Amino acid sequence: MLHLHTDSVLEVTVHSAHGLQKVERLGKNDPYVRLSVDVDNSKQYDKFKTEVKSNAEDPSWEQSFDIREISDKHTDLFVEVLDQDKGADAPIAYTAIPLNQVKEANGQSLSARFDLYNKHGVAQGEISLTIRIVQPGQESSGRITYDGNFQKAESRVDEEQKKRFKKLVLKETASDVGAAAAIGGLFAAGAGLLAGHNKKAEEAKKREQALAEDQ
């Protein structure tokens, strides 16, 4: 049990990610990370979000967030990695990090590498984070920069997060299908206009030939 006070602050520094699945059809991923302590809280995911790293295979962010109003009901930190796109952003990976290991860590601060998971729940890639629990009256001990030597810590597949992630995948797929249909419609409309133009040109040519024969 964490025994967190309602005024506790969860400090999270997102360092970097490695081994991410490529989801861009052309070019490299444009990845970003978002965080929440409530598995399906879209507003929180949108609030605690890193910047986008363009064309990055192994992105590095070094961005920190203070998640406030946490309590004992918040047992995990939920992490999502997405690829920014013109339509719906493409989900890359996700993970749930049990916060009890942060509480048990020295100084209630844990700097580690965590497994990420794809839509099938299979480990694919890693993310490096520093997570601190700051209780009321305590001060932050400062931010840590990833030096490439963090040890592996526990992360897991949360079934509710897995369902959420699959919905994100379906949303992105539907967006791609819609975009493809729109492009197809434009091509079809263009082809129709061209066919109509060619038909009118052919009819005009026939009329010219008929007039010439009459003369």
What one-character-per-residue DSSP string does 72-118 give?
TT--EEEEEEEE--SSSPEEEEEEEEETHHHHHSGGGEEEEEEEEE-
198 versus 84: the higher-pLDDT residue is 84
**Pick from 63-67, 101-105, 125-129, 208-212: least confident:** 208-212
In-domain check, residue 20: yes
* Tens-digit pLDDT profile for residues 72-120: 889 999 999 999 998 889 999 999 999 999 988 877 889 999 999 999 9
Bridge partners of 98, per DSSP, are: 76
In-domain check, residue 117: yes
In-domain check, residue 58: yes
Q: Is the pLDDT of residue 165 over 90?
A: yes
Question: What's the pLDDT score for residue 199?
Answer: 64
Q: What band does 167 get if pLDDT is binned at 50, 70 and 90?
A: very high
Helix (H) or strand (E) holding 165: helix 159-214
Q: Is the pLDDT of residue 200 over 70?
A: no
pTM: 0.79
Q: What CATH number is attached to the domain comprising 71?
A: 2.60.40.150
* Domain, as residue range, for 130: 9-175
Number of H helices, E strands in the chain: 3, 8
Question: What's the pLDDT score for residue 53?
Answer: 97
In-domain check, residue 112: yes
Q: What does the pLDDT average to over 52-72?
A: 92
Number of domains in the chain: 1
Question: What's the pLDDT score for residue 6?
Answer: 64
Percent of the chain with pLDDT over 90: 58
Question: What's the pLDDT score for residue 195?
Answer: 58
Question: What's the pLDDT score for residue 72?
Answer: 82
Return the structure tokens found at 172: 């992105």
In-domain check, residue 203: no
Question: What's the pLDDT score for residue 146?
Answer: 86
Q: Is the pLDDT of residue 179 over 90?
A: no
In-domain check, residue 45: yes
